[in-house]
Structure 1
């Protein structure tokens, strides 16, 4: 997933757009009108779906979610599994559930705003039930240069918290561990993290020494 060429992936906002919500409501209204005219429609089944659909829409109003996330939340609310699947199929059909768009935007935002590495983001997408092929495509937004640049920014930022040049080896190692820890918590490669942390610490010490 690292080193792969960057693709021009479309960006979809985490919050569902008004256009999407309007599209869904219109589709549901059209369906309801058709159900009234069609005596073969199972009205009892449609009533069961209505409750699940309303709850799913409230969850989507809060933020975009993967299909797996919605499924898990609806199961916890003790809705019937077959009804949940039917509703999720409906929402997928009108574009309110789109795991590809969700994963792409999740990676873009979490890398840019939280400084998360591709490895950490991959684990997050796994927990959200995103399929391997979709995860790989979304993570192609991040290449090796992106990873190193983000890690370096984080290392420099943490090094700025050091207020004086370490007096001995023990104090220096302590400062170094703090910088490495910031990068490790975001899932960056250990070897790269150590090298960048040393470089950031050296630059900070030089800065302090000439201040």
Structure 2
């Protein structure tokens, strides 16, 4: 069996190293294709440097920047293999941060992740972090905070309904269940009215 010449082996090794570092080398790889990938890779890494993103989100942003779809897919495959694009990890972090910091409900977060192209299994796994009891407690806290902005006991049914709508609106914008939101809002409003009457 013929062994490759040492020069040929050295040239191939050099070309592979150049290829792996994102540059074309030795004339053995398509220089033009590698240059196209390098531009897409650079833009993708810039986007990931700002914050973690789903694969679909990256794809959409890169397509909007008028890169070729095939080249985008190749680069995203490379970044996925390198562990820089990972929808499961992205979804987990997205849920953790936005539930804790922004008070978003599981249904709102599920919708956001779906819009970002995260698959059902990854979404479901990420949403397991949210305990239903914690979610209800968070809705209660938000409702109580909004109720504190009411400075006088509503004078009639119309005023009461208006105050109630404001509290429910805070919960609805974060995606909390409608029935639960109404119940919690009524309780928070009643508690606030009792406080105001006690202060009179």
Is TM more than 0.5 here?
yes
* Contact 2:63/2:69 (<8 A) preserved: yes
Distance 1:34 1:78 in 2: 21
Distance 2:18 2:141 in 1: 50
Higher RCO (CA < 8 A, seq sep 6+): 1
Deviations 1:26-49 (A, max 9, x none): xx9781399646x53222211110
Deviations 1:140-178 (A, max 9, x none): 111210210111011001000000111112111111111
> In structure 2, the residue corresponding to 1:164 is in which secondary structure?
coil
- Structure 2 gaps of 5+ residues are 1-16
Bigger Rg over Cα: 2
> In structure 1, the residue corresponding to 2:185 is in which secondary structure?
helix
Deviations 1:5-54 (A, max 9, x none): xxxxxxxxxxxxxxxxxxxxxxx9781399646x5322221111011111
What is the root-mean-square deviation of aligned Cα atoms in Å? 1.8
Runs of 4+ in 1 over 6 A off after TM superposition: none
Q: TM-score, normalised by structure 1?
A: 0.82
- 1:1-211 to 2 correspondence within 5 Å? 31-32=20-21, 36=25, 40-211=28-199
Distance 1:200 1:171 in 2: 15
- Structure 1 gaps of 5+ residues are 1-27
Distance 1:65 1:32 in 2: 23
